[in-house]
Amino acid sequence: MIRLFSLVHSLTLNGIEAIPVQVEVDVQNGLPCFELVGLPSASIREAKERVRSAIKNSGFEFPLQRITVNLAPADLRKEGSHLDLPIALGILLSSRQVFAPLDEFFWIGELSLEGSIKSVPGVLPMIMALSRSFPRAKAIIPSANQAEASLVDYPSLMAQSLKEVVSFLDGEQDLPPTELADLCIKPGTYQEDFSDIKGQASAKRAIEVAVAGGHNILMLYMVLSFLLP
């Protein structure tokens, strides 16, 4: 029996927190079947058709074997189409169409049917999480997400298509890195200053708590005007 296993690293979002995910791909002889397990959301379950078409339209072979993809940890619900790219790479690795090790990379990207890599939401919190927990790894992200990824000082490479990624892994081309953004924030001008408030300790404390964030009430600021006379 021919049975091949591969492991590809990615992430998923739990609210605004990014959590590492291991994409485990097992390809073995049997009736052609593509199973996706590990609490995937609807958008991830639909990845089966996107990945199948992207692999074929990029010039590779989609294996006519029994394919099982597990998203670990299995007890955590996975959200987002950005797992398309790691799933496709896992299949190519297990079917011996890619031989380069993928351990040092975290892969992020949605695949179109033609094999191009589309932008995805949530890249910024993912890169921030990687910079804290995996400072020696690298991220492969969609080129369209360069702006937000460049806000974090972390080694990220940009890719535009699945075929381009495979060429990079084969050593045939390089992927361009993101450049750390130079944020020039113009200071605002205000007629009133917080330091002008004399006394009113409890009121000032309430304002500080409100603007500090870290709580769900911050999202309700839009209705504040309805409370005012």
Burial 11-30 (b: 16+ CB within 10 A, else e): bbbeeeebebbebbbbbeee
Q: Going by C-beta distance under 8 Å and a sequence separation of 6 or more, which residues neighbour residue 179?
A: 150
Range(s) within the chain of domains with CATH label 3.30.230.10? 3-169
Mean pLDDT along residues 11-17:
91
Q: Going by C-beta distance under 8 Å and a sequence separation of 6 or more, which residues neighbour residue 78?
A: 12, 21, 38, 39, 40, 41, 44, 71
Q: How far apart are CA 39 and CA 22, in angstroms?
A: 13
CATH topology classification for 3-169: Ribosomal Protein S5; domain 2 (3.30.230)
Average pLDDT of the residues of the chain = 90
Higher pLDDT, 155 or 215: 155
Higher pLDDT, 161 or 222: 161
31-80 tens-digit pLDDT? 999 999 999 999 899 999 999 999 999 999 999 999 999 999 999 999 99
